[in-house]
Amino acid sequence: MAIERVTVVGAGDMGHGIAELFAVNGFHVTLVDKFPQALEKAQARIASSLDRLVEKGKLTKEQSSEAKSKIAYAGDLGGAVSAADLVVEAVPESVELKKGVIREASASAPAGAIFASNTSNIRISDLAEAANRPHRVVGMHFFNPPMLMKLVEVIPGAKTDPAVAQEVFDLCGKLGRTAVKVQKDSPGFIVNRINAADTLFFCLLLDRGVASPSEVDRFARGQGLPMGPYELLDFVGVDVGADSLAYFASALSPEYGKGTTFAKMVKEGRLGKKTGRGFYDWSSGKAEIPKADPTDKVSIMDIFALEINESVKLLEEGVATPDDIERGVVLGMNRPFGPISVAKDLSNAEVKAKLEELSAKYECGVFAPARSIAEGRLRDAIEGRLHPMSGEAGPSTEARAPAPEATRGAIRLERLEGGVAKVVIARPRLNLINGEVLDGLNGVLTDLWNDREIRAIVVTGEGTVFSAGFEMTKFVSDAAGMMEFARKGERTMRRLSEIPKLTIAVLKGYALGGGLELALACDLRLATEDVELKFPELARGLVPAWSGTQRLSRLVGLSRASSMILACESVTGKRAYEMGLVNRVIQAVEPDEQAVKYARELASSEAPVAVMLAKKLLNKGSEVPTDVGLEMEEMAAGVLFGTEDLKEGISAFLGKRKPEFKGK
């Protein structure tokens, strides 16, 4: 059914804006409210808003007049919905009030009408209980002000017909809005669930006397925010924050009820702008914020950690995808980036430590690390590798299955304990390298590049063979095409050599041609005694074209490199160690396990930033004059002198303990 006629119930801040948005986009709208003065005020506000759009050149006078003509105003709900295709309730955030609207509307509206709630927190499944057609009830959460904010959360209830949810999702596009579909009905959905932890935090700050509202707001403005949290609460309404915490305390966790300051302000009538006074005096029409120094009792990491934690809970519960969480926060909270982006630049240990600190300091379980963070699997969560917990929405203690391995074509990525990742060429028996393998390897390198949890990467082949070389499965028509394909392989090897992590190749069985070039691009090579290493290209009319001619001679010298390339000489792992081609000989039994153990040792004992800079010096030093290389060394030493890891390394050495590097 095409939606043409819309009834919006509730003419307040949200309702009149939603009605205007539908009218501007060509829909016939009836705005209904039982209070005549509310309708009069809404009509004036809509007219004023449309006039401003004309002044700004966003609408023509004709379009403004047409939008005004499409809005009717009514006081009787039954009559207002009698011909509606869509009913949007936008009454205050009360379960019983919203249920009453849905009950009456569903009794009077046509059989095919859709009932959408603009609730910002309440489960749609709970509201749908009041409808005689619960399968046609859906959440359609606009953000304030609806004419400006681009996000709409679409929330199916437990009984919502998927076709209804999809119709509302598609409708958002016709309104010029970006919709995110909430996968599982849960209190607060995406954005307000994340924001609720922030609201509780700012309430507890005042409860504990940690800092004054003006000190916190000055800090927030110093971080580039247009409003501090308390100024924003005043603007929206302190009662909105208090009601939100009360609802979450009843529907999600009683821990949300630990904050008391906001509820006290509501009892005192200090609701913010709407009453003239909240945290600040609004008698002049704007907040009069006392002069204050920015507090140093709050850090931006406090907020980041809380929002990441709530995002992970949503992912664990299956409420939303990482992309929709990111998109929702960016558009719904008017941010340049969201918690998923922030989490990618932080380690699990950093986030976990901050959450444990906040949870202990404020004695609040909401701030305790989510299960995935507690188990060290933040990266699995934000990259979408969790199995959602079963059961009803809300906190769960149910154990989940391990995250599945990430596979990119013929490349498998395994994230192991101890800061180690294992990259496996999975093309048994010989693990030949083709274009698919190169694409997969490039994708995995991108995944790992900024992953601060991973400090060492083990590169190996499935089974008993590292890689028997290149397999040309892609048709190459001419010399130019072959040059481009060679360049693709060389660039992949270069990326592997430059990734800011330790890379360790496990040479076993065979490492021939392109497979050996892959190993040469790694920082370290471990080899079994009997592995066969060889460049057979010249015997096939080719040359090593993935940097083998350049890297090999730098490792073992021109004479030995000439023997291996020009004479196609084969060497064993033992001989390669004597030549300096490999760094360590390992046993033939379980070579991958030996490499992983070695990688863990290095990951736990070497400072990540120092590793990154040392790799740059080793890789680039041979490409520049000696005096330039020495200058590079000096600059690297200067950079490292200011790191926390240097202080930790010296402290650990003097204290005769193992260092705990953080990569800072």
Active-site choice (417, 537, 593, 631): 537
User: How many other β-carbons are positioned within 10 Å of the β-carbon of residue 145?
Assistant: 15
> How would you class 308 by CB atoms within 10 Å of its CB: exposed for 0-12, middle for 13-18, buried for 19 or more?
buried
Active-site choice (231, 255, 517, 532): 517
The question of whether 644 is a catalytic residue gets the answer no
Q: How many CA atoms lie within 13 A of 174 on its CB side?
A: 14
Q: In what order do the strands lie in the sheet with 584-586?
A: 406-408, 411-416, 420-425, 456-461, 502-507, 524-528, 584-586
| Residue 142 near residue 118, CB atoms below 8 Å | yes
Cis peptide bond upstream of 402, omega within 30: no
Token couple for 251? 């529907």
**Distance between CA atoms of residues 571 and 554, nearest Å:** 17
Q: What is the biggest distance separating any 2 CA atoms in the chain, rounded to whole angstroms?
A: 95
SS3 (DSSP) at 205 = helix
Q: What is the 3-state secondary structure (H, E, C) of 333-373?
A: CCCCCCHHHHHHCCCHHHHHHHHHHHHHHHCCHHHCCCHHH
Amino acid type, 472: M
The question of whether 215 is a catalytic residue gets the answer no
Handedness of CA 10, 11, 14, 20 (dihedral sign): positive
**Distance between CA atoms of residues 516 and 576, nearest Å:** 12
φ, ψ at 307 (rounded to 5°): -70, -35
| Residue 111 near residue 91, CB atoms below 8 Å | no
User: Given phi > 0 = left and psi -120 to 50 = alpha, else beta, which region is 316?
Assistant: alpha
**Nearest alpha carbon to residue 178 among 347, 329, 292:** 329
Active site (catalytic) residues: 517, 537
